[in-house]
Amino acid sequence: MAAYILENTSISALSVYDLLKHTSGSAFLEIREFHDIYPIAIENNNGLFTKNLSLQDFPSVSVSQIGHSLASTCTCSSSKEKLCEHQAEIICGILEEKNFRIFFDPFLRKKLFIAKAKIYGLENEADLDTYFELEYAEGKTDARPKIKEMLPIDEDTFKQYLLPQRSSVINELALQENGKKKILVIGRHRYYSHLNFSLMEAETTQAGKIKNPVNSVDAMQLIWKAEEPMHIKFYTAVNAFQNNYNEDYNSSELEALKLIVQNPMGFETYYHDRDLSETVSSKSLVPVNLENFAGRNPAGCI
């Protein structure tokens, strides 16, 4: 099957009238509807097309942009001194139908990719072909990300993936009961090297910063109010460590440490730095990330 080659041209540069020079018929000029044409396979600069006809078979026509030439084949039996009527019709369809043309027209492709890139915050990237590819499905062509981990930066995704996860409203209310915020404070005993944990509460500024005074909360009282098993375990564990003076930890204490680190209510956690002040106050509380303690032997970091 010999290919007919249109030298020094491309889909972006070609017009339907240019096609007249390469074919003997002009019936394709009358066609304004290209719904019947569909690609059997399509990718950038290459497509194999046919038509959905109820009464007769339509041959398969390939169109490829190879360098500066456009090459086309057709499975019909006509001599290929010129483009056959099928090739002329299909090439005309590519010129006119945006969903096909975009595979052969880099300018059109770039326009779609830029529009898509904005959704992902990538519009200033030099080579958008690295990030996006075309996909033809059910008569429509769209750009899809090549990398499936790419996240659109719409508001919902932003909230879901990028903002810190907020604890549930109920937890939030529990934290704010009586208008004060409960926090978990990790302290080091004045004379011993071990850590202790305590729950404290304080009013906060509008920005959420701890205000003085910072008062301790009796974890025992919270155990009675708690309903969730994880919350009860947590308060019990904190209570066990509130007045802990042991230098070594037995296995149940290590278990309790793990429960505290899990922090099921998402309390903000602070370290009481005695070098800053002997008393617990907004000045001597340093925010810490409890997760840094997780995964390590709790005794090892104490």
Which of 134, 121, 110, 124 is CA-nearest to residue 47?
A: 134
CA-to-CA distance for 35 and 170, rounded, in angstroms? 56
- Name the E strands within the chain: 4-6, 37-43, 46-51, 61-66, 69-74, 132-137, 140-145, 181-188, 195-202, 215-217, 268-272, 285-287
Nearer to Zn ion, 51 or 86 (CB): 86
Nearer to Zn ion, 74 or 214 (CB): 74
Q: What minimum distance in Å lies between the beta carbon of 89 and Zn ion?
A: 9
Nearer to Zn ion, 86 or 181 (CB): 86
Q: What minimum distance in Å lies between the beta carbon of 100 and Zn ion?
A: 18
Catalog residues that contact Zn ion under the rule CB under 5 A: 74, 76, 84, 86
Nearer to Zn ion, 28 or 267 (CB): 28
Q: What minimum distance in Å lies between the beta carbon of 97 and Zn ion?
A: 19
Cis peptide before 145 (omega within 30 of 0): no
Enclosing H/E stretch for 295: none
Nearer to Zn ion, 74 or 259 (CB): 74
Q: What minimum distance in Å lies between the beta carbon of 75 and Zn ion?
A: 7
Cβ atoms of residues 189 and 274 within 8 Å: no
Q: What minimum distance in Å lies between the beta carbon of 31 and Zn ion?
A: 15
CA-to-CA distance for 251 and 247, rounded, in angstroms? 13
